[in-house]
Structure 1
Amino acid sequence: MNPIGALATFAGLTDGVECAAMKRQAVMTGVYVLAILTVFALLGTSVLEGLGALSRVIGFLTLAIGVELVTHGVLAAK
């Protein structure tokens, strides 16, 4: 699983929902489901494979945050 999966979960759970509290609950449900699936995926591997997978996930998240910061900086400069 990755952040793209979390975004797809969020989009699917909040499609057509108008209430802010329901959207918040849908987001939290998506985050919990993704966290549980990630834990089970990492528990099913050896320690070294799990660390490698975890470092890739953290690297991808760092890259996504960096891209977001650059995008906001470029848009703010315009």
Structure 2
Amino acid sequence: MEKAIVTVGVDGTSIERDLEIPIDISVKEICAVLSKALNLEENKINITGYYLKAENPICFLKGNDILKKFNVSDGTKISLV
């Protein structure tokens, strides 16, 4: 399993964490895991679906997109939308 250290944020909040995540999984899977890990439901923060904005590389990912195919790597910044 390949991994990368990325900065994870949530749009509209001040939440931002550096995390090591697997990159050979789908956006849907990582959104579900991050939502649980960051306690978004408990904090009443709703994300609109399975979407990620990324910087370095700049891209918009959704649903069944695999992170690795879009060159997500160490230093990428991703935001749950």
Question: TM (normalized to structure 1)?
Answer: 0.24
Question: TM (normalized to structure 2)?
Answer: 0.24
Relative contact order, CA 8 A, sep 6+: which one is greater? 2
